[in-house]
Chain A
């Protein structure tokens, strides 16, 4: 069934969009990532103009994250206090990010910088996570009968002042590291045009030492606010949010998020991390290949003045 999208101004298959939405929704519910880093390239691929794809994707992430966070909420795996602290950092970081983005844009080559930062971050995070989680998986297989020891990391985040108790995460740490993490992710999210879940999730696990189960719900919680803000910004400045496209994507997305949350709770934390690491590496590999291999069409079309 073909449907004409009023803002994107092209006609696409409605079932294809429902399917794409569902797929990204499952990932969103499972891993706590918004899925923007996967969905946006997929939308480019089916011919949606980049500006419309980025803006509409933000709107869809609001829906699937909201759907996912409700499921986590009932399981009490959302650390609201941590989420709010990360969010404060995130907003400061996003403001910085927009400034940096505009400076880069005036210098030209902003597309290249986005792709390079994607490849670098995805590559580093993906490899580190993969090595760590495969190791953890091996250890847990060897000692299945024994109860797993609770990981209590004692690193620099525990020595800083302004300590706060994060009951849901079982942490008593300074608020400065979460704010810094939020800021760093906010900067990257603004530059790369995504929610930043795929950076936030590993940062919460490895830097803040939060338990994996809480990480997913908390990440979704803070993604909702970031992407809702982004959607409004795109809608009022560029008029590029396509409501028809968003509705089709989010119908698939919200259903997928519920299924993803179910799958997520059935998997072990280590398995979840291995899968997320593999997915991150896959996207990284694809982007790197695009940079290294000669494209079949050297030329591309765009609207003058605008970005990409």
Chain B
């Protein structure tokens, strides 16, 4: 059934590409479970481009203008403090700092072409697609001379940690109708609701978008330990100490036994 729909979509798209478009997509999994052995995960984002039902033919774009696809995966938004070291009296100390109001804990962009080729600056600003636009900082602008250096540093550090990534040609788009992208989630991700967005662009303008929520949750032992630490803090602390004392005693007893 899905194949028929896709095939139909394909035929229609090729036949009259100037129709308003719509994205139909899904993820290979709707939730990511963090278990004790979690070492990263890969999400497959796939879908098809369909003409909008009942849409009329627009003459705005030439028939030859191709469609492009951008896929973004964003982690939960959190405030971040960025500190800068500078030399004071011969030693390196933290001097200036900027609080960034909200930055995604993870942000991955996959696109069918380099982002700057398929997305205009205004559209980027409107939909907050590229990495710098996904980071929001409004306050404290007057306190430091160079605010952009701090956000650039945030992006640089998170890119080095594999948390932020933007790659062109990483969405495979076939026949202007079917697309797929593999998104790597690193092992150092946090819990929360991750938003997957898909943008369809033509002539650097967003013509359709689609969003899905991806649930990232700790399960099993991870869940149990985390809940206990948050909700039964004293019990958790005592349990941690009991484990420490018991294992200290066990090691001592074992070594004594081993020596006879």
Contacts and interface: CB of A to CB of B under 8 A. Distances in A.
B92 A241 contact: no
Interface in B50-109: 78-87, 90-94, 99
Contact of A258 (B99, B229, B251): B251
B182 to A, nearest CB: 20
Interface residues of B, number: 62
Contacts of A255: 251
B247 to A, nearest CB: 5
Contacts of B249: 66-67, 70
A303 B80 contact: yes
Contact of B84 (A1, A231, A244, A299): A299
A291 B190 CA distance: 32
Contact size range, A: 35 or more
Contacts, number: 189
A6 B240 contact: no
A35 B87 CA distance: 30
Contact of A11 (B38, B233, B236): B38
Given A4-B39, A11-B39, A247 B233 contact: no
Interface stretch (B6-14, B150-158, B165-173): B150-158
Interface stretch (A56-64, A131-139, A274-282): A56-64
5 contacts: A2-B38, A47-B161, A228-B244, A257-B248, A292-B92
Interface of B: 34-40, 78-87, 90-94, 99, 150, 153-154, 156-158, 161, 187-191, 218, 221-223, 225-226, 229-230, 233-234, 236-241, 243-245, 247-252, 255-256
Interface of A: 1-4, 6-7, 9-11, 47, 59-60, 62-68, 70-71, 74, 109, 111-112, 228, 231-232, 234-237, 239, 241, 243-244, 246-247, 250-251, 254-255, 257-258, 290-295, 297-305
